[in-house]
A and B are shown apart, each in its own frame.
Chain A
């Protein structure tokens, strides 16, 4: 028997993705729809000996092809013959959900309508009559309650037994379709026609709902009661800040950091030493030993230690997103974000950028106006990502031992302030004529499906792992080569290496910044490959030895201080270097993402150059003003 081809469509917040994740579990392939940066998710499973493939189409409110997602849904359904197209409908929100249903039926796509969240509808005092709906539309209807195993089994039974060809649109529907076609031929301006068709669809929906839904008023719903605290008055921002604080504590103190430290100990301890001994034991050449231990293990290891932090941050954010709270965050922060030339919807991607700018830049897709999207993409890299943190932690511990935590926090603030200023500037120059919009559904609060949260966390975080395995790997080898070789071949003295030469070539740029040394120049260059390498490069250059691990660097401040690095910087020039590192050109992975998301080399080049310029200028100001003030 051939593979049964299923496509899932539906509005956002209907539990569609949960159904997809429950159906296919880990057997998913995530790719890209051609030409656009929207995830294409396909999953596979077997049921009763039948192979089934499931495509999860993007959640949309309509298919007017106004957004890339809407275009994908309609193009996919028009060009691919599916055995079953499932329309996942949130029963508690059936009126608006049916809009997409009707629109799809108008296009002649037969639908299996899944009345999902039946339990939630009952809690709200709504009763949706599935059999009646089946009669009215002439399409098969199945009832589910979200993620229960029973519902999934029921869906699979229906998928494998329903023959869509047996269903014909009802007379009522046929009548509506003829009406819409007439409106289309009326010769009025297109806009007017579109609006009349929208009205006709809702007129039909009103008619259907009247026959299918019975409502009894049960008073305020659970979500309403929660919103009285989480989305209301002065309490809302306070709770938001507390939740934000908790997320950062979980990530950086309670769970993430201990795991990161343990991992770091294993990598820089047993693994590095074990590899060194093993390689020496089998008589590998010294240069290759050095490449593997000092280059690859140190470099890739430094990134791997950040993986737990990144994954835990994304887990927290995905979880919050699953509960529906992120929509409230957008709601309560919109007034503030708007003054900055952004939108409340942009808070979530910006929060992700404290973990890593790459998923944050990708997250900007969710913003619907071009102005919001582009501004968000361009300012995101100013924020302190997980890889910049060790630079700040090391320098703060070395040069400001009494105020280390405050200095690191100050760097976060400087990043945020720069992002805000630049957003304002771009908003009134580059994207002056473009509008910003905010129209957002506030879905009911729900307990997120853990499986979906984990899958989403993995999707977002795995980019970081790939980065460790590819770019960081190559960069480590590259930096190792640059720092161990010169034109004459291998060199013992790092100060005669290629890296020293390169660092020397650009360090004049920083003469008036207080850190015009070739070592700092080399660290800046390596930081463009990956910010993680700034600390490890400095360690290598100042000869701190094999002990460098970016993450526990703060504890090793003393080792660094005694190594000559202490003498190379004053506390003011160290501060200027921190500011520069905080703001300058994003790493190549982030640049690559900008190119993909912003659409072209132009924006990528623009980001690289303007951020370098901003960092150079601000850092110069800091150093010169600081000198004047006698620091």
Chain B
């Protein structure tokens, strides 16, 4: 997975040096709908990164999306047998792979 990540970054870099814009779709926790379960691939840099990791969100951790607040944001997830609420803009920093 790590190797694939690097490859992806390299492709984007090479293309951009030729002024070609490449949009790579990266699945993040933000895109999760209630009932989805994911495995975390990476936690992106942000002010919240270390706090998210401390709360148990690490590469490899399984998370399940529980629900959204009435206007779609924040979202509630189940991680390491407890429930956590976070805003979608922060969830967008968490790269995931869908399990089911």
User: Which A residues are closer than 8 A to B by beta carbons?
Assistant: 61-62, 64, 66, 92-96, 99, 124, 126, 191, 194-195, 198-199, 202, 223-224, 227, 231-234, 236-237, 327, 330-332, 334-336, 338, 344, 435, 437-443
CB–CB B76/A438 < 8 A? no
Chain B residue with the shortest CB-CB distance to A62: B54
CB–CB B84/A195 < 8 A? no
List B residues 61-93 near A (Cβ within 8 Å). 61, 66-67, 69-74, 76, 80-87, 90
CB–CB A438/B86 < 8 A? yes
Besides the contacts A224-B66, A334-B74, what 17 more A-B pairs have beta carbons closer than 8 Å? Answer: A64-B50, A66-B50, A93-B81, A93-B82, A99-B54, A202-B56, A223-B83, A231-B67, A232-B67, A331-B76, A338-B87, A435-B47, A438-B85, A438-B86, A439-B86, A442-B76, A443-B82
Is B21 interfacial (CB-CB < 8 Å)?
no
Neighbouring B residues of A336 by C-beta, 8 Å: 71
Chain B residue with the shortest CB-CB distance to A121: B81
Chain A residue with the shortest CB-CB distance to B79: A96
Neighbouring A residues of B53 by C-beta, 8 Å: 195, 198-199
Instruction: Give Cα A160 to B57, complex, Å.
Output: 38
Instruction: Give Cα A234 to B71, complex, Å.
Output: 9
Neighbouring A residues of B71 by C-beta, 8 Å: 335-336
B55 to chain A, nearest CB (A): 6
Is B48 interfacial (CB-CB < 8 Å)?
yes
Neighbouring B residues of A92 by C-beta, 8 Å: 81
Is B52 interfacial (CB-CB < 8 Å)?
yes
CB–CB B56/A96 < 8 A? yes
CB–CB B55/A331 < 8 A? no
A315 to chain B, nearest CB (A): 26
Interface of A is mostly: helix
Neighbouring A residues of B83 by C-beta, 8 Å: 223, 227, 441-443
Of A61, A336, A437, most B-chain CB atoms within 10 Å = A437
CB–CB B82/A331 < 8 A? no
Is B51 interfacial (CB-CB < 8 Å)?
yes
CB–CB B81/A441 < 8 A? no
CB–CB A437/B80 < 8 A? no
CB–CB B54/A332 < 8 A? no
Of B47, B55, B70, B86, most A-chain CB atoms within 10 Å = B70
A202 to chain B, nearest CB (A): 5
Which listed residue, A62, A124, A126, A437, touches B48 by the CB 8 Å rule?
A437
Number of contact residues on B: which range applies? 20 to 34
CB–CB A439/B48 < 8 A? yes
CB–CB B81/A439 < 8 A? no
Neighbouring A residues of B54 by C-beta, 8 Å: 61-62, 64, 99, 198
Is B58 interfacial (CB-CB < 8 Å)?
yes
Neighbouring B residues of A334 by C-beta, 8 Å: 69, 73-74, 85, 87
B79 to chain A, nearest CB (A): 8
User: Can you identify 26 A-B contacts, CB atoms within 8 angstroms?
Assistant: A93-B80, A95-B82, A96-B81, A99-B54, A195-B50, A195-B53, A202-B56, A202-B58, A227-B66, A227-B67, A236-B70, A327-B85, A331-B85, A332-B69, A332-B70, A334-B74, A334-B85, A334-B87, A344-B74, A438-B86, A438-B90, A439-B51, A439-B55, A441-B85, A443-B82, A443-B83
A243 to chain B, nearest CB (A): 15
B48 to chain A, nearest CB (A): 6
CB–CB B58/A198 < 8 A? yes
A242 to chain B, nearest CB (A): 15
Neighbouring A residues of B84 by C-beta, 8 Å: 439-442
Q: Mark B25-69, 1 if CB is under 8 A from A, else 0.
A: 000000000000000000000011111111110110100001101
Instruction: Give Cα A307 to B50, complex, Å.
Output: 44
Neighbouring B residues of A61 by C-beta, 8 Å: 54-55
Instruction: Give Cα A236 to B74, complex, Å.
Output: 14
Instruction: Give Cα A202 to B85, complex, Å.
Output: 20
Closest 9 CB pairs of A and B: A95-B80, A335-B71, A442-B83, A93-B82, A198-B53, A440-B85, A62-B54, A331-B85, A96-B56
Which listed residue, A194, A195, A232, A441, touches B82 by the CB 8 Å rule?
A441
Instruction: Give Cα A247 to B29, complex, Å.
Output: 36
Neighbouring B residues of A440 by C-beta, 8 Å: 84-86
CB–CB A331/B58 < 8 A? no
Q: A64-B50, A195-B50, A437-B48 are in contact. Are A335 and B82 (CB under 8 A)?
A: no
Neighbouring A residues of B82 by C-beta, 8 Å: 93, 95-96, 441-443
